[in-house]
Amino acid sequence: MKRTEREKEFSQRMISRRALLLGGVQLGVAGSLMWRLRDMQLNQAEQFHLLAEENRINLRLLPPTRGLIFDRKGVLIAGNEQNYRVVMKRDDAGDIDLVLSRLAQLIRLSDDDIERARRDMLRNRPFVPVTVAERLSWEEISRVASNAPALPGVTPEMGLSRYYPLYEDMAHVVGYVGPVSERDLEALEAPDPVLLIPRFQIGKSGVERMQEDQLRGRAGSQRVEVNAVGRVMRELDRVEGTPGGNLHLTIDAKLQNYAIERLHGLSAAAVVLDATNGDILALASGPSFDPNLFVRGISSTAFRGLLDNDFRPLVNKTVQGLYPPGSTFKMVTALAALEAGVTDGQERVFCPGHMDVSGNRFHCWKRGGHGRVGLVSALSESCDVYMYEMAQRCGIDKINEMSTRLGLGIRYELPITSVSAGLNPTREWKQRNRNSDWRIGDTVNASIGQGFVLASPLQLAVMTARLATNKAILPRLLRDPIDRAERESASLDLRPEWLRLIRRGMVETVNDRRGTAYSSRVVADGQLMAGKTGTSQVFSITRAEREAGIRRQEDLPWNRRNHALFVDFAPYDDPRIAVAIVVEHGGGGSSAAAPVGRDITLAALNGGVPPLSAYPSPQRNRIRAEQLDLEERLRTPEALRVSRA
């Protein structure tokens, strides 16, 4: 049907409106697109450039160089050595099982190594490099490099690894490093990003652990350009990290080596202090272990062997081991009685070989008794009955106060792990921990270092240094090689006449014919030694064992025998060295611990193997034979050469 002119005009107007509306929409869309393109090109160009760069450029952390550890004279005791290793990234490797299989044909890789590497790659993000093998030879690393096209994602590298050149000597002091564990990360609120690098090593024990923040340093960074499959094409930028700080210990590596070898074959501990300032010159715990085994990866068999060893080589007995101090505690009891005013040190007490207290009989080690003894002879001959009498007069409170004053029962803040506080028992302690009242028998036992009293070899050495100097000596392990100013220790304010009696008792212990350590005396001029023996009971011989004929310590199993102890200082007139020795289950202090203490004291005074002239002439042939055997094990001067930081 033919449309009228009016209808045609109306239709044209409608089409024009729609065209205008559609054109407007098209123009708006085009304008928006143009505006967005302009914004992206001008305002957001830098942001998109960075996004593109992130797809082409990788940023990697560079592990810092760990700080070195030296002894007091500059001998290197913890350093770093070159370490050829192979790393692998999961996102570049593709089929990781295939690549690991190929790699195993080129280098030594056990099934455990392959499984560990596979587990680490699946646990971490795809672009994180994982160490597959380390400590490779030059030939092995060369084979990997030459076969690189067949090993996608695999990169040979050269890094640094921790190394302990003195092996067993410093294991308990310096400790060792190991890979970061989940427990390590959980213990930190904000872990350093470098700790997330697989198999990155941190301190696990000893100084390495306690000074981790100073030794670790700060990581560097590396920017590298990668291709479409992630292979590194070139290095664009590198910022080296900050190396960890170096440490100097107060330990004398030569003396430490002598002490370790002198303890050879024993489960024992030896501590040597500079009596003038508290510097720890030796901290030897035997037997020891090679910390390098833990750095390189110790086998389960070797680790189980260390754990199952009755001599407990993994335990630092010098600070962690706690022992009844036995008769080495008698100086504490004697001083407590003097300060309490219950004796003047001159009166004599009769020792019949025992004392009855509250219906119980307490024996003296000398069954026949010592007769009438004064304070000096009670120390030199180690009379128990004299101490029983003094303890009952002054009481446990005075004994506890003097013990604390002399440095026992205190946890010293040293940069090593597992430092024990020991135990200075009090009435309150027993009520709180044993739910029992303190009894007079407890005081009697404590007077001779038995019962609840426990001390570490370090604490006994501190006690000895304080007795020798009348100063509140504090042990120190870290040393500032630049600041040579001597620390001034506070006075203990013990009356000189009391200390003269105590020191006289100690010097007669070693140098009087009736002294318990007379066979371990020193005859060299200017090196007169004062000391005290101790024997602490571990188990009593039961009635059944006595009826079976077991009457001596030597008849008991090793782990039920008494501990042997000895403390000393020298020279007597000008104390420079304080020493404490504990021989676990060694029997008597005079026979097992005192000879060790004398040798280590002489080594400290003479700077090495003691001269034969320091020993009584009847003993020199035997001593020389012992020295020849020991000298074969001592480190050579070359092994103890001074290194430069």
CA nearest neighbour of 407 among 358, 464, 353, 355: 464
How many domains, the chain?
Answer: 2
Least confident among 40-54, 66-80, 254-268 = 40-54
Give dist(CA 634, CA 261) in Å, integer. Answer: 7
User: 275 and 199, same structural domain?
Assistant: no
222 and 260 part of one domain: no
pLDDT digits (tens, 9 = 90+) for 315-327: 999 999 999 999 9
Both tokens assigned to 633? 């094990």
Phi, psi of 219 (to 5 degrees): -70, 150
Give a yes or no: residue 641 inside a domain. Answer: no
- Which pLDDT does position 12 carry in this prediction? 67
Among 559, 542, 564, CA closest to 323: 564
Q: What is the mean pLDDT of residues 422-433?
A: 95
Whether residue 165 sits in one domain with residue 306:
no
Strand partners of residue 362: 355
Q: For residue 470, is it within any domain?
A: yes
Residues 145 and 265 in one domain: no
Q: What is the pLDDT of residue 50?
A: 47
Q: 220: part of which helix (H) or strand (E)?
A: strand 220-226
- The overall average pLDDT reported for the chain is 87
CB 157 within 8 A of CB 86: yes
Whole-number pLDDT of residue 51? 45
The mean-pLDDT minimum among 181-190, 262-271, 555-564 falls in: 181-190
Name the E strands within 311-363: 349-351, 354-357, 360-363
- Token pair, residue 398, equals 């005075």
Preceding peptide of 287 cis, ω within 30°: yes
Asked if 359 and 375 sit in the same domain, the reply is: yes
Helix and strand element counts for the chain (H, E): 23, 19
- 40 in any annotated domain: no
Q: Domain containing 98 — which CATH number?
A: 3.90.1310.10
Is residue 571 assigned to a domain? yes
Structure tokens at 627: 């020295």
Q: Which residue, of 248, 283, 301, is where some domain finishes?
A: 248
pLDDT of residue 9: 67
Of 1-10, 15-24, 124-133, give the lowest mean pLDDT range: 1-10
What tens digit of pLDDT does each residue of 551-610 get?
A: 566 777 878 889 999 999 999 999 999 999 999 999 899 999 999 999 999 999 999 999
Same domain, yes or no, for 442 and 301? yes
Domain membership flag for residue 17: no
Same domain assignment for residues 458 and 508: yes
- One domain for residues 352 and 260: yes
Would you call 590 a catalytic residue per the annotation? Answer: no
- CA dist list (Å): 7 to 10, 12, 20, 364: 5, 9, 20, 137
**Whole-number Å distance between alpha carbons of 403 and 245:** 38
CATH number at 290 reads 3.40.710.10
> Can you give the pLDDT at residue 125?
72
CA distances from 423 to 273, 323, 403, 417, 446 (A): 21, 10, 10, 18, 11
pLDDT digits (tens, 9 = 90+) for 494-520: 999 999 999 999 999 999 999 999 999
Residue 252 has pLDDT above 90, yes or no: yes
- Tell me if residue 283 falls in helix, strand or coil: strand
Residue 163 inside a domain? The answer is yes
- Determine the Cα–Cα distance for residues 307 and 330; give it in Å rounded to an integer: 35
From 248, 269, 293, give the residue that closes a domain.
Answer: 248
With bands split at pLDDT 50, 70 and 90, how would you rate the model's confidence at 428?
very high
User: Which of the residues 285, 327, 380, 520 is marked catalytic?
Assistant: 327
Domain that holds residue 339: 253-631
